[in-house]
Amino acid sequence: MRILIVEDDAALARGVMGGLKLAGYAVDHVAAGEEAVRLERAEPYGLVVLDLGLPDLSGFEVLTRIRRRGSTVPVMILTAREAVADRVKGLDLGADDYLLKPFDPAEFEARVRALVRRGQGTPVPELACGALRYDRSTATVTLNGRVLDLRKRELAVLEGLITRAGKVVPKDRLAGEVFGFDEPVAPNAIELYVARLRKKLEPDGPQIRTIRGLGYLMENA
Amino acid sequence: MAGTRPERVPSLRRRLLTRLLVPLGALAVGLGAGGSALIHGFVQSTHDRLLAGSTLAIAERLAVGDDDGEVTVDLPAVAFGMLESQARDNIYYNVAHEGGVITGYLDLPLPDIHAMPANVTVFRDASYHGHPVRVAAQVRRLYGVTQPVLVQVAETTAGRRALEVDLLLWLTLLEVALVGGSGMLVWGAVGRGLAPLKRLRRVIDARSARGGMALVPLPLAVVPAEVLSLVVAINGLLARLDQSIGTMRRFTADASHQLRTPLAVLRTHLALLRRYGTDSAEGRAALDDVEGAVKRLERLLVQLLALARADEDAPVVPAAPEVADLLQVAMEVAAEQVPAALAQDVEVHFEGPEDGSALRVAGNAVLVGELLGNLLDNAIRYNRPGGTVTVRVGEGMGAGPMMEVEDDGPGIPEAERGRVFERFYRLDRPGEPPRTGSGLGLAIVRALADRLGASVRLDAGAEGKGLKVTVTLRGAENAAGSKALAAEGDRG
């Protein structure tokens, strides 16, 4: 799952990104509004965390532009502006959540998970596919009750596939969700992670099928 | 109205009553004195006329015997009848001729007949048997006798006194009624006259009851002309109060806004530290950010305090005029800032007056130093690596001693120069990393300049690059003369 952080305070952005990366998300950071709008259009983000006080465009303007294009990406406003009028405006412009600085990192991450779930149309915290269970609040994967030891990327691939189980997930979209911008990605990296994931799901997990020319599909059990 | 009125200021009612009743009472006393003299004269003349009448009646009956030349008098009843109304008074009379009393009271004293004109009634006050009496006397020259005849009628004065006292009593009563009545009228009139003020008070009470600070101007329609200027002044005060509360609210909101981000930085990085510990690269990076956030908070705190100090309601010109040596202050402050500048790879240059003479400016040396310190800090903080900051002090162009801080950093676009003095206003320069300044530096400079009566000017630096801030201070010599000027100028 990939998240865009729009925040002009570099130190805060580093802190937020650190927490989200630890939780297994791929995170991109921009400090200006124009760039945020451009990136959001180009990349398949599962969530945008938006500061309101940006140097060029205001956060409200960024939000307006994102929504005007018809994007349904979940947006969390993360700001120091506490006025009720600002909260109302932000939510009315299409934000899904409004969190005031300073915030508890644990609460922030819980809200991120909730928004991501909503964005995928699956608000249940636990996803299942056959004998495979994925608890998104604790990021634990079990297969027939046995806890699987998945690396961060493998978990991201699994999440991208299990939320759309039974459907084809295009390869570049999956890659877009798994990797952030600042991460060096080998051309066949996604294949590598899919292969590792397959191995770990054997023998009783769901099959991940390669649909040549289209992408991957996790079979419904 | 109840309770806590300071005792030294008497109520309006009391003032008006005092102002009115004291002179009115004095007037009444004066009128009473004049009145009593008038009454005395009036009573005297009325009674004297009666006394004169009775004297005349006796004198008319004087006769000289044809044969013996004896003077006789046939006392008429009417002579004393007209005096009878004053029942309490005793009447005495006598008629004298040739030094002897012909008839009447022998011991009623006789005046010097020869000093008296004939046929004219002369009055005098005398004493008879220990009682004061009024005596009317007339001298007659009768045909047939050589010596003049004297007729005297005396009357005790009890009746006159009684009448005078009676009249005086009535006069006094009337005056007391007048003064008392005026007092009551004033009492009532003050109450009625102050009714508009009571209405005004109810308006204010109603507002307070609604809660909150309703600093809306008071209605002028209910106010009488005499207190209009007062209410207008109060409205002016309310407006200023409203404005300053608004400023304060904005300031508090801005300050809390400024505090929130570094606090959020602290929380997120502390959470990271908890997971990574301080031994890993990630942990050390988080520690750096924690330290940076703490530094930001510290600086913000220092600046907020500096601003609060600069904002203090101290008089623009202190009671005892203070004098600071601008050159010395500037050299000290500049030297203090050099290490911070070098840490940012910025050079500080200092240019003083060529002859090295002291620059006496009016104002507190600490304030002057703090002003320059903030300017320098700004110039260093917002400069680029390898930049230069020049501090210049000297006699300005006639207006007073000046100090100048010039840098060759990014400068401030002309359109923004008015706004940078606003609190928490920060210049964002697209394409550059965001600054860590609090946006308070120039606001502090402005507040300090206001207190020093100095003016601040922003220009581009040399060759149009960077920023040049010129502060014109008030010289110590002409400080007294330019007090008013400094107080009202430079505020805009």
Residue B8 CA to residue B400 CA, distance in Å, equals 47
Nearest residue on chain A to B426, judged by CA atoms?
Answer: A55
Q: Which residues of A touch B (CB under 8 A)?
A: 8-12, 14-16, 18-19, 22, 31-32, 55-56, 80-83, 100-106, 108
Sequence-ordered list of residues with C-beta below 8 angstroms from that of B341, at least 6 positions apart, any chain = B347, B348, B380, B389
Phi-psi region of A121 (alpha: psi -120 to 50; beta: other; left: phi over 0): left
Cα–Cα distances in Å, from B185 out to B16, B17, B20, B28, B39? 11, 10, 11, 17, 30
Task: Using the predicted structure, report yes or no on whether residue B312 has a pLDDT greater than 80.
Answer: no
Answer whether B468's CB lies under 8 Å from B406's CB: yes
With CB atoms and an 8 Å threshold, state whether A103 touches B286. no
The whole-angstrom separation of Cα B9 and Cα B15 is: 9
Residue B50: closest CA among B159, B150, B129, B165: B159
What's the sign of the alpha-carbon dihedral A173, A177, A182, A185?
negative
All residues at 6 or more sequence positions from B70 whose CB lies less than 8 Å from its CB, including other chains: B64
Q: B266 near B293, Cβ under 8 Å?
A: yes
Averaged pLDDT, B295-315: 75
Tokens for B56? Answer: 């005349």
Residues B184-209: tens digit of each pLDDT: 998 888 888 888 888 888 888 888 77
Locate tokens 């609040």: which residue?
A137
CB contact under 8 A, A101 and B264: yes
Average pLDDT over every residue of B223-245: 85
Question: Which residue stretches of B354-435 are H helix?
Answer: 365-381
Chain B contacts of A18, Cβ < 8 Å?
A: 268-269, 272, 282, 286
Cα B428 to Cα A54: distance, rounded to the nearest angstrom: 9
- Name the residue among A14, A80, A104 with its Cβ closest to that of B267: A104
Distance CA B186, CA B336 (A): 72
Closest partner CB to B261 (pick from A19, A22, A101): A101
What are B37-62's pLDDT values in tens digits?
Answer: 999 999 999 989 988 988 998 888 88
Mean pLDDT of B237-259: 80
Model confidence pLDDT, tens digit, residues A109-138: 999 999 988 887 777 778 888 888 888 878
Q: How far apart are CA B314 and CA B317, in angstroms?
A: 8
The two beta strands, A47-50 and A75-79, are parallel
What is residue A134's three-state secondary structure? strand
**Shortest CA gap B238–chain A (Å):** 26
Domains of chain A: 2-119 (3.40.50.2300), 126-218 (1.10.10.10)
Q: Does residue B6 have a cis bond before it (omega within 30 degrees)?
A: no
In angstroms, rounded to a whole number, what is the distance separating the alpha carbons of residues B438 and B82?
Answer: 112
ipTM over 0.90: no
Chain A neighbors of B434, CB-CB under 8 A: 8-10, 31, 55
A22 CB neighbours in chain B (<8 A) are 272, 275
Q: Residue A99: closest CA among chain B residues belongs to which residue?
A: B264
Question: Is the predicted pLDDT of residue B84 greater than 70, yes or no?
Answer: no
What is the torsional sign of CA B267, B268, B270, B274?
positive
Return the H-helix or E-strand segment holding A4.
Answer: strand A2-6
Q: In angstroms, what is the C-alpha Rg of chain B?
A: 51
Domains and CATH numbers, chain B: 16-166 (3.30.450), 225-308 (1.10.287.130), 315-488 (3.30.565.10)
Contacts of A108 in chain B (CB under 8 A): 268
Do A11 and B292 lie within an 8 Å CB cutoff? yes
Query: A211-220, B60-69, B72-81: which range is least confident on average?
Result: B72-81
Place of tokens 């006496």: B360
Of A39-48, B61-70, B465-474, which gets the smallest average pLDDT?
Answer: B61-70
pLDDT at B491 over 50: no
Beta-carbon separation of A31 and B434 below 8 A = yes
Report the chain A residue with the minimal C-alpha distance to residue B274: A19
Find chain B residues with C-beta within 8 A of A31's C-beta. 433-434
Number of cross-chain residue pairs from A and B with Cβ atoms under 8 Å apart: 82
Instruction: Output the pLDDT for position B482.
Output: 43
